[in-house]
Amino acid sequence: MSNGIFDPLLNLEEQYYNEGYEEGKCDGKHAGFLEGKQFGLQTGYQRFLSIGILRGRLDIWKDTLKENEKVQRHLNQFETVIDNVPMSNAEADVEEFEKRLKKAKAKTKVICSVGKDNIPVKVYDDQIDLKHTEEVIEDVGN
């Protein structure tokens, strides 16, 4: 004997479970996309802010240290390092970005030393501390 009109009631719990699962999956996919996008924007901002700060310093140095040929050579090398930084998230490009940022920070120290600029350079996640010329000379003797 079959109760045809009441059969759907027997599967009501499973039906609601499946509906809730599908809604949760759809909402989770959307929320995950938004969270990933926000994280990507934040990370990209943090990484490229450092390059932007260094680029700004380069522009200032190019204008203020025109007469020193040695500094100009270092500035040209510095510009080569920070220009055309890879922007993709591929593993090789991320590694290249990190390598260039490290080189740029080192070149910043050289330019500040040669150009006698003792103002510390603050990048987003770090500060490039500079020693006064006298301190560097004293360190060599030790």
Cβ-in-10-Å burial (0-12, 13-18, 19+) of 128 comes to middle
Q: Which residues pair with 123 in a beta bridge?
A: 126
What is the DSSP code (8-state) at residue 118? -
What is the model's pLDDT at position 141? Answer: 44
Q: What is the mean pLDDT of residues 32-57?
A: 89
| Rounded-to-integer distance, Cα 74 and Cα 66, Å | 12
The percent of residues in the chain predicted with pLDDT above 70, rounded, is 80
Residues whose CB falls within 8 Å of the CB of residue 120, separated by 6 or more in sequence, listed in order:
127, 128, 129, 130
Residues 111, 123 contacting (CB under 8 angstroms): no
Q: What is the pLDDT of residues 108-132, one digit of tens each?
A: 888 887 777 766 666 666 656 555 4
3-state secondary structure of 79: helix
- Residue-level length of the chain: 142
pLDDT at residue 20 tops 80: yes
